[in-house]
Chains A and B, each alone.
Chain A
């Protein structure tokens, strides 16, 4: 199968994300890339655990003073839902339903943007209410680096999905762009999984002290 062929509902393969050699390569290469990203986040998590609550003087706020359940729970729900909506998008992609795919991707992007907005609010809150900043303590550095790296991944993922949606808005699905949509959604899931760990390790474990 060639990437440039014009596809119809009948000729659309069952796994459009792996139908050409280029697509197979991209699929596998992206999984490897996520393997490397896993080590990256593992290093950040390990550092965070080593530096959690490590502050220079007694008047700094610690994890148990900072985090508030309602906000992070809402953020978690938003991101989890966005993973689900991106699954719907890929389901429609496999069925050659371009419009529906775009719709669900659109919802995914909105959820992601809301998440990012809340994260910015959250950081702002810590900085202004608690004086907990990137430079105030080793704890602050480790916290903002871990959660911020995740946030930067969300931002990059959003830019990526939006560019794909705009670029292909007029021309619909092909075997050339299907793998691109697919790996972008893989990336999105990965970001979500990382957040689940952040929610557990940083926030839940942080609140119990």
Chain B
């Protein structure tokens, strides 16, 4: 038993998580916080669907409906989907590249706490006078007219959590470039690592546009500026541009890591090398690049003119090409493989056609002239749910089952897993397939009710029934998590038996330093290569030596808390005298915490190699 594995009290555990800089623990924090927001967003979705179950319903009022709708979208994109992906990136990517840690453990923790406080701030709007109500896109002409502080909660909350996202992106970029184990060349990196890399680059170049847009919105609403006020010379279309210059790359920030998770799962359970590895990498990079060229396809009806619309339409359709390459590569990986239908694999198999359906409607929407008909109808709602649920959410559910043993050392129940899968898949198609037709029949999106006798009743009722299927699926998943944790049956390094990449070569969960000796990587699917040669573990690339590890720190929490406080000050400054001092105090907490970080030396600590040798029972040998 090593000194590092003592049993701790509850207080010590909480303190440990508040100060941790270990990417595996930060992953768990992201999973819990992201999971919480996912459930919250899901409840909001249920409210929407109950309201729309029957015509002329008055389950909620029109105003409240707008708030629920806005918070559903905002929460799902910023506070659920992205953080849940970060959970898996944090848990798995450093292991996949054979690293002991990420490049910036301190910033990694800061990124989490900024996201967390931003999300909490945004959701406190429910209790403090009303949530934002101008849609997740918060178009300026609407949002400037919105009363109360809802939109301010949106602008400030997303500003704080966006800063966290940016930091996380930089951290992954540098980690993947600088921390790869010996032999782990770029073209040997697993696809999840590659897609994390490209998604992080997108974060880096997309989020600052949102930052600027949010600043303008905050200045206009709280500090009297006139960016979007046309009576003062402003222009509301600037917000639309900035939002979508961020917004379209954002959808690829979400879906690329999902592609990565599925690529790994499909090759693992087809027990075959990924078909067309290099073209997969190429397609990922190309999608990332093109993702910046197409933002105005969200603005076809804004009136940019036929030339701009034509250019953006063609650029948009071009993205379907690399996406198609990927689809075929997944199919060819399965072709001739000896497929094992585990829960993650079932999600992967279901993902391919579901996502293709979303891609097809995407190309339909990209036809600018036709989009004048589709725009702002349920057809668009169906499109983006097919790509986001059919792509991102299915990957998150697949990843939860697939990586659970690596993160927690226990295996989720396969039977319950399959029940979740079927309920969710059926519910998903039931809810959203029919919305294509509702949209084509003219049902507008973002409207709190619809009229009887327009042929919309059955479609909406079916859609609501589907939503309940998905809700039950999530409850089964939660139940599965509870009983798995109670049973607490520990598993070995490679619980699926078919692991190909480095994360499966070390114990589950890995020791906090991940690899006792850094592994030597001899090709794509490094662990699989060793297994094929009859070895049980990786060949070490270095002799046993001392390991350098970073110190825990409470400063990230304090920096984020300061901004959280300052945001209240900035917002209430317009109503109350105490706003300004609160703003100043909050900023002071943040800046002083940063100063402390800057002037207090932090050299980390060393684990001595003698301690590592006794550490046999914890595995962790490369």
State the A residues within 8 Å of B (CB).
3-4, 21, 24-25, 28-29, 32-33, 35-37, 39-40, 43-44, 46-47, 50-51, 54-56, 134-135, 137-142, 145, 160, 163-164, 167, 176, 180
Contacts and interface: CB of A to CB of B under 8 A. Distances in A.
Nearest to A176: B601
Contacts of B178: 21, 24-25, 28
A180 B600 CA distance: 13
Lowest 3 A-B CB distances belong to which pairs?
A54-B233, A138-B233, A141-B225
Interface stretch (B166-174, B294-302, B382-390, B453-461): B166-174
A199 to B, nearest CB: 21
A24 B180 CA distance: 13
B232 A29 contact: no
B15 interface: no
B207 A36 contact: yes
Nearest to A160: B598
Interface in B484-505: none
Contacts of B233: 51, 54-56, 137-139
Given A28-B177, A29-B171, 10 more contacts: A25-B178, A28-B173, A32-B173, A50-B235, A135-B226, A138-B234, A142-B227, A163-B599, A167-B599, A180-B598
Contacts of A138: 226-227, 229, 232-235
Nearest to A54: B233
Interface stretch (B112-120, B212-220, B509-517): B212-220
Nearest to B206: A39
Contact of B603 (A33, A56, A145, A176): A176
A135 B229 CA distance: 11
A47 B601 CA distance: 41
Contacts of B205: 35-36, 39
A29 B234 contact: no
B6 interface: no
Interface in B245-284: 245
24 contacts: A24-B178, A25-B179, A29-B103, A32-B173, A32-B204, A39-B208, A40-B209, A43-B208, A43-B213, A43-B242, A43-B245, A47-B227, A50-B238, A51-B227, A55-B232, A55-B233, A134-B219, A134-B224, A135-B224, A140-B225, A141-B227, A145-B225, A164-B598, A167-B598
Nearest to A144: B225
B595 interface: yes
B195 interface: no
B598 A163 contact: yes
Nearest to B205: A39
B223 interface: yes
Contact of A47 (B204, B216, B603): B216
Contacts of B226: 135, 137-138, 140-141
A202 B231 CA distance: 23
A180 B173 CA distance: 20
Given A29-B104, A36-B205, A141-B226, A56 B212 contact: no
Contact of B232 (A21, A32, A33, A56): A56
B51 interface: no
Q: What does DSSP make chain A's interface, helix, strand, loop or mixed?
A: helix
A164 B594 CA distance: 13
Contact of A25 (B104, B209, B231): B104
Nearest to B213: A43
Given A51-B235, A138-B234, A145-B219, A43 B212 contact: yes
B211 interface: yes
Contacts of B599: 163, 167
A51 B234 contact: yes
A21 B242 CA distance: 37
Contacts of B103: 25, 28-29
Given A29-B174, A32-B170, A55-B233, A39 B598 contact: no
B177 A141 contact: no
A40 B204 CA distance: 10
Contact of A35 (B204, B238, B241): B204
Contacts of A37: 208
Nearest to B591: A159
A54 B229 CA distance: 11
B598 A3 contact: no
Contacts of B170: 29, 32-33, 36
Contacts of A25: 103-104, 174, 178-179
Contact of A54 (B104, B171, B234, B601): B234
Among B207, B220, B238, B245, the most chain A Cβ lie within 10 Å of the Cβ of B238
A176 B601 CA distance: 9
Given A39-B208, A51-B227, A141 B242 contact: no
Contacts of B231: 56
A44 B227 CA distance: 11
Nearest to B211: A40
Interface string B131-174: 00000000000000000000000000000000000100011011
A44 B216 CA distance: 10
B161 to A, nearest CB: 16
A134 B218 CA distance: 13
A47 B245 CA distance: 13
B249 to A, nearest CB: 11
A112 B595 CA distance: 20
Nearest to A44: B212
Contacts of B598: 160, 163-164, 167, 180
Interface string B417-432: 0000000000000000
A21 B174 CA distance: 11
Nearest to B200: A32
A134 B104 contact: no
Contacts of A167: 598-599
B143 to A, nearest CB: 16
A126 B206 CA distance: 34
Nearest to B226: A138
Contacts of B227: 47, 51, 138, 141-142, 145
A56 B229 CA distance: 10
A3 B603 contact: yes
Contacts of B206: 39
B229 to A, nearest CB: 7
A36 B174 contact: no
Contacts of A47: 212, 216, 227, 238, 242
Contacts of B166: 36
Among B212, B215, B232, B598, the most chain A Cβ lie within 10 Å of the Cβ of B232
A165 B163 CA distance: 28
Given A21-B178, A134-B223, A135-B225, A39 B209 contact: yes
A145 B242 CA distance: 15
Contacts of A32: 170, 173-174, 204
Given A28-B177, A56-B233, A135-B224, A141 B212 contact: no
A198 B599 CA distance: 33
Interface in B9-63: none
